Structure 1
Amino acid sequence: MKLYYFSVAGVLLSMGLSATELPDRQAQLPSVPKDANAQYLTPSALSTIPKGEFGDKVTKGYQLFVNSQQMRNQYVGNELNCVNCHMNAGNKANASPLWAAYMAYPAYRKKNDKVNSYQERIQGCFTYSMNGKAPESGSDVLVALSAYSYWLAMSGLMNQFNLTGDVPVLSDAELLKGGNRPEFPLPEVISAKLDQKALTMLPGRGFPKLDKPEKPYSIERGNSIYLAHCQACHGQDGQGVKMAKVSALPPLWGPQSYNWGAGMHRVNTAANFIYENMPLGKSIQLSVQDAWDVAAYINAQERPQDPRFKGKIEQTKAGFHQHDGYYGKKPQNVLLGEKAYPNFPEASQ
């Protein structure tokens, strides 16, 4: 993996380009068929987070994760919280849990054509899913979110192998890297049973891969499904529900939702997530066809611009959107992306 990264970097330098200037092939989030017999990690209860400096970082990471709006206008540019997609405070299997993601990085990503550390993966979430601004490398925010992710992963592994005691403390620099590296410190009883590859593919990672629909997905059918199953939480207009001027249930499109660069704007990614996790509290209620249709309806609505947009819809579409999505297309006789909302807007008062 590292050899490949450096060979790419060498090519870039010879071309006078940086990795951030490369076209994004926009690879979808990892998804594999769900295994009914899978054994998922069970991290320790939050009440067991230790006292002291390390525990304070873990607790802060949890707080930022479930209430990301406290970072609004600093790093967050919409009304979403991280927990809206990574459910049960990032702990739910098959909802892209943090414990599995942490053990999968560093990893090569087509998103920016380089090996990403865990902190770089989080920075991408702020830029795209949160329609905001990436926190600075090494910042307290990234350290805290990494510490929380690490604590979930390591406590879950320790519980699986019946190990007692506190989760080993890592330095900030080590926390930010992620767990997918040969030098990552693991208790011997765990490393003897799970090799590095197995740790990167923990059961429950990502969103389970959904079967293809029997019929081509339909925005029109998706509208009917949305009204029947989704509007109670997300509103008929898709703008979510606010309580005391605070977003309690997230907007799914429009100026306060994820932007055209977020992975969730892909119809297949959204379908995978919806089928497994929605409606909230009673998931796996929709048919496979319904999940694809409603994902198409949600993602055929305008949202904030792709942050990589440089003035031409067709150029952005060609470079970054060769997949199951509607950016730069006219699914309802309206060119999506042409009237996209701003990136990283200030919160409305």
Structure 2
Amino acid sequence: MTHHMLVLISLLLVVTAACSPSPPPVAAPSPYKLSGPLVSSATNMVTAWYVPKNPLTDRSLDNSKLSQDIKWGFRLFTNKPHEAPQFAPSKMSCNNCHLNAGQRERSLPLVGVAGMFPEYNRRSARLYSLNDRIVDCFLRSENATGGVEDELPSTTSPEVLALSAYLTWLARGSEVGKNPPWRGQNVIEASNLIPVEKLDPRRGEALFMEHCTNCHGEDGQGVAIGDKKPGPLWGPDSWNDGAGAARIYTLAGIIRYAMPYLDPGRLTDEEAQQIAAFVNSKPRPQYPFKHQDYRTEKLPPDSVYYRK
């Protein structure tokens, strides 16, 4: 073999090695014991605000438009009033219900959920894309309808696309069309549901004062603990009356398994429902399009604001 041929072969090997795709970086192991990809529901002061997959510190994300949108989506998820004040006139963020940036067990986790869309939405009686669902959260949970009417979010709003990018990033490696086993776990068994008319907001208020005021305050507006503060549970800065949390059983499922924040699961099914009945007996912003909901499907019995 001639010298020139050896040089040519060597150059080809170098070029081939340079052009070969590098294996994706391996994520650093979590310093805490997780429940699958999620922070355990048995949380403590150390893990209470831990985020297993944080795009702001993930070295595999670069300066591309997609990576920047994933990072912005995370910031929107955790602080919507600051990142998108025009769409969040309430003081609520996604993180107020989907704890640990959507990555805590039995706290409405969203890891792997993006692959389930489109899916049927009973309230609207149609298929929803992931972006449709995000818009719905803006309109209801963040009360975007309480802002400027001609600035309502749409499925192509940059903020919606960024949130979609973050949630899709959380679903990487998940099987499309397969519900994650941790989805739908914030539900009280049907056999343990108390008829709405038999719930007592006064008992719920007493339980609230006993178990909830350290973080939420007696006025329900949240107590600042360092740089952390829970979102308002009622009043003009809370979710509106068309939100999912405005349903008693839905809110009770969140309270039952995700609260108290540092000792979740301590309350009973009955206590969680009583507290939810109290919280949802309070005034909150009105969703102006409630007449468009449940036109095909039956109105759920715990949709108390629709009956007023």
Q: Which residue of 2 aligns with 1:114?
A: 126
Change (3 A) 1:219 1:60: same
- Asked if structure 1 preserves the Cα contact closer than 8 Å seen for 2:109 and 2:183, the reply is yes
Query: What is the alpha-carbon distance in structure 1 between the residues aligned to residue 112 and residue 247 of structure 2?
Result: 22
1:86 pairs with 2:104: no
The alignment's C-alpha RMSD in Å is 2.9
SS in 1 for 2:229: strand
Q: Which residue of 1 aligns with 2:266?
A: 285
Q: Which residue of 2 aligns with 1:227?
A: 209
Deviation at 1:44, TM superposition (A): 4.1
Q: Deviations over 1:206-258 (max 9, x none)?
A: 443213157843212111110001112112121223589x9822110111111
Q: Which residue of 2 aligns with 1:152?
A: 170
Q: Which residue of 1 aligns with 2:187?
A: 209
Letter in 2 for 1:210: I
Q: Deviations over 1:246-285 (max 9, x none)?
A: 9822110111111110011111101111111001111001
Q: Give the structure-2-normalised TM-score.
A: 0.72
- Asked if structure 2 preserves the Cα contact closer than 8 Å seen for 1:254 and 1:302, the reply is yes
- Asked if structure 2 preserves the Cα contact closer than 8 Å seen for 1:72 and 1:78, the reply is no
Question: Within 5 Å, which residues of 2 pair with 1:197-276?
Answer: 197=177, 199=178, 201-211=179-189, 212-213=192-193, 216-241=198-223, 248-276=229-257
Gapped runs of 5+ residues in structure 1? 1-38, 158-193, 330-335, 337-349
Query: What is the alpha-carbon distance in structure 2 between the residues aligned to residue 322 and residue 276 of structure 1?
Result: 21
Query: What is the alpha-carbon distance in structure 1 between the residues aligned to residue 76 and residue 168 of structure 2?
Result: 15
Deviation at 1:307, TM superposition (A): 2.2
Letter in 2 for 1:52: N
Could you say which structure has the larger radius of gyration?
2
Gapped runs of 5+ residues in structure 2? 1-34, 39-51, 146-151
Query: What is the alpha-carbon distance in structure 2 between the residues aligned to residue 138 and residue 70 of structure 1?
Result: 20
Deviation at 1:137, TM superposition (A): 2.6
1:139 pairs with 2:157: yes
Change (3 A) 1:226 1:318: farther
Letter in 1 for 2:63: G
Query: What is the alpha-carbon distance in structure 2 between the residues aligned to residue 74 and residue 234 of structure 1?
Result: 25
Q: Which residue of 2 aligns with 1:303?
A: 284
- Asked if structure 2 preserves the Cα contact closer than 8 Å seen for 1:79 and 1:247, the reply is no
Q: Deviations over 1:281-320 (max 9, x none)?
A: 110011111111111111111111122157xxxx989998
Letter in 2 for 1:97: P
SS in 2 for 1:115: strand
- Asked if structure 1 preserves the Cα contact closer than 8 Å seen for 2:221 and 2:233, the reply is yes
Query: What is the alpha-carbon distance in structure 2 between the residues aligned to residue 45 and residue 231 of structure 1?
Result: 30
Q: Which residue of 2 aligns with 1:103?
A: 115
Query: What is the alpha-carbon distance in structure 1 between the residues aligned to residue 228 and residue 103 of structure 2?
Result: 22
Query: What is the alpha-carbon distance in structure 2 between the residues aligned to residue 317 and residue 205 of structure 1?
Result: 23
Q: Deviations over 1:14-48 (max 9, x none)?
A: xxxxxxxxxxxxxxxxxxxxxxxxx7445645422
Question: Within 5 Å, which residues of 2 pair with 1:50-61?
Answer: 50-53=61-64, 54-61=66-73
Q: 2:76 aligns with which of 54, 64, 68?
A: 64
Q: Give the structure-1-normalised TM-score.
A: 0.64
- Asked if structure 2 preserves the Cα contact closer than 8 Å seen for 1:275 and 1:284, the reply is yes
- Asked if structure 2 preserves the Cα contact closer than 8 Å seen for 1:95 and 1:205, the reply is no
- Asked if structure 1 preserves the Cα contact closer than 8 Å seen for 2:124 and 2:295, the reply is no
Deviation at 1:101, TM superposition (A): 2.8
Deviation at 1:98, TM superposition (A): 2.2
Deviation at 1:94, TM superposition (A): 2.3
Question: Within 5 Å, which residues of 2 pair with 1:117-196?
Answer: 117-133=129-145, 134-154=152-172, 157=174, 196=176
Letter in 1 for 2:215: C
Instruction: Report percent identity of matched pairs.
Output: 31
Q: Which residue of 2 aligns with 1:12?
A: none
